[in-house]
């Protein structure tokens, strides 16, 4: 079994509550961080995470193991987020203070590459991307999903994910100042 969640999934399907609790423990923070970065509110992120896991448990019998369990969960999270965006204006911008308080437990690719100020600037620019590109960036870079896993989660081809990421990176490069690009190269 390549995915450590597979055994727990089978136990949870069989009614093992401890396995279900352990699955939530393994995946909750990643799903919450995904929503927190995309919706700009801890309260909304918590609500969306709860909705996602409710859907996960209802759909658990349909999980066929064609993708990693984490990828499958992010696919469900993607649909929960899309429903939320349809009902709410997703472009409400979060303040700089909010973004600065969103440091991940482990450094993201942006935080590794630059100081905190550059990371805040990049987060703000990522927030300006259209929803499809922003979500691809969050899944691939912030959540660490592979291109194939990101494609599975979004329900699109890997080539579409590559295109969205390339377009997002071009957008970000075009808006970064020369000094920010030099700082990013360090």
Domain termination site, one of 77, 92, 107: 92
Do 83 and 101 lie in one domain? The reply is no
Instruction: Tell me the pTM.
Output: 0.56
Helix 116-126 with 178-185: angle, nearest 10 deg: 120
Q: What is the mean pLDDT of residues 76-98?
A: 74
108 shares its domain with 74: no
Structural domain of residue 81, as residue ranges?
1-92
Both 178 and 101 in a single domain?
yes
pLDDT at 183: 55
Mean pLDDT across the stretch 35-51? 89
Question: Which of 42, 67, 92 is the last residue before a domain boundary?
Answer: 92
Confidence of residue 19 (pLDDT cuts 50, 70, 90): confident
98 and 169: one domain?
A: yes
Spell 47-61 as b/e; 16+ CB within 10 A means b: ebbebbbeebeeeee
């Amino acid at each position: 079994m390549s995915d450590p969640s597979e055994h727990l999934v089978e136990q949870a399907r069989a009614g093992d509550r401890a396995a279900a609790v352990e699955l939530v423990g393994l995946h909750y923070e990643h799903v919450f961080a995904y929503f927190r970065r995309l919706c700009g509110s801890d309260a909304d992120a918590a609500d969306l995470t709860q909705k996602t896991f409710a859907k996960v448990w209802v759909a658990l019998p349909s999980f066929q193991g064609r993708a990693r369990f984490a990828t499958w969960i992010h696919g469900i999270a993607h649909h929960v987020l899309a429903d939320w965006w349809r009902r709410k204006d997703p472009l409400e911008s979060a303040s700089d203070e909010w973004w600065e308080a969103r440091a991940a437990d482990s450094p993201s690719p942006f935080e590794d590459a630059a100081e905190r100020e550059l990371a805040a600037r990049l987060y703000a620019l990522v927030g300006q991307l259209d929803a499809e590109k922003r979500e691809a960036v969050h899944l691939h870079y912030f959540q660490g999903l592979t291109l194939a896993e990101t494609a599975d989660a979004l329900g699109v081809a890997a080539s579409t994910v590559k295109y969205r990421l390339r377009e997002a990176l071009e957008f970000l490069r075009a808006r970064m100042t020369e000094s920010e690009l030099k700082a990013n190269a360090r």
